Amino acid sequence: MPTAGRYLPHYTVEDLQRWEGDWELWQGIAVSMTPSPFGSHQRVARNLVVELDVKIRELGCQANVLYEIDWIVSRDTVVRPDVIVVCGAAPEKHVESPPPLIAEIQSASTVERDREAKRDLYQDQGVGIYLLIDPDQETFEAYRKTGEQDWKHEMITDTIEFSICGDCHLRLSKASLFR
């Protein structure tokens, strides 16, 4: 281990729960959350939550759409994706197992985290589908699990179809997110 690494603090979920402000925890390293997102980010996130929720309810799927809830990945890793879908009932406090779907709405201050660190974490943890949405560029991308740890990247130009929670088959259109 490099000398500097020995002197870096290594935080846990218990430490995080005592802090004020908004933080994520990445392998024991505290990462400050960016300030609340702007209007276009909020609009796209709302559209996504509504679209997913309506479709899940119409199909009678046993799933819940959650917005900005902590996912406790491990004792030293906690992230707060923009949107998570969980199978079954919504958790009382935090998500504690890999969700079938996570979406991040990108902004200039989060693009690198979303495209690299979080993408790799979500893939390593077995998330089934990871949606990346850029409200400024109006781009819609997906990473989908294709095997044990393999992901396929797709640029969505019109619609995407996918399954979550076993038998819940959903379809999202790019137009519905950016309306």
Residue 53 pLDDT exceeds 90? yes
| Residue 64 confidence (pLDDT) | 97
Confidence of residue 108 (pLDDT cuts 50, 70, 90): confident
Are 15 and 77 in contact by the 8 Å Cβ rule? The answer is no
Which range has the worst mean pLDDT, 30-39, 113-122, 126-135? 30-39
Closest CA relative to residue 160, chosen from 142, 169, 172, 175: 172
pLDDT above 80 for 90: yes
Say how far apart CA 44 and CA 19 lie, in whole Å. Answer: 29
Task: Give the fold, CATH level 3, of 34-177.
Answer: tt1808, chain A (3.90.1570)
Instruction: Say how far apart CA 156 and CA 172 lie, in whole Å.
Output: 10
Asked if 114 and 104 count as a contact pair (C-beta separation under 8 A), the reply is yes
- Tokens 């992230």 sit at which residue? 79
Q: pLDDT confidence of 4, banded at 50, 70, 90? A: low
pLDDT at res. 5: 59
Q: Given this model, what pLDDT does residue 34 score?
A: 64
Contact criterion met (CB below 8 Å) for 22 and 80: yes
Distance CA 158, CA 172 (A): 9
Residue 55 pLDDT more than 80? Answer: yes
Mean pLDDT of 120-138: 94
Predicted TM-score (pTM) of this structure: 0.84
Q: Region 118-130: what's the mean pLDDT? A: 94
Each domain of the chain, given as residue ranges in start order, spans: 34-177
Q: Which residues pair with 131 in a beta bridge?
A: 103, 142
Give per-residue pLDDT as tens, 57-67: 999 999 999 99
Q: Give the span between the Cα atoms of 134 and 106, in whole angstroms.
A: 5
Q: How confident is the model at residue 37 (pLDDT cuts 50, 70, 90)?
A: low
Give the integer Cα–Cα distance in Å for 130 and 123.
8
Whole-number pLDDT of residue 11? 86
Q: Which residues contact residue 176 at a Cβ distance below 8 angstroms, ignoring those fewer than 6 apart?
A: 47, 51
Handedness of CA 91, 93, 97, 100 (dihedral sign): positive
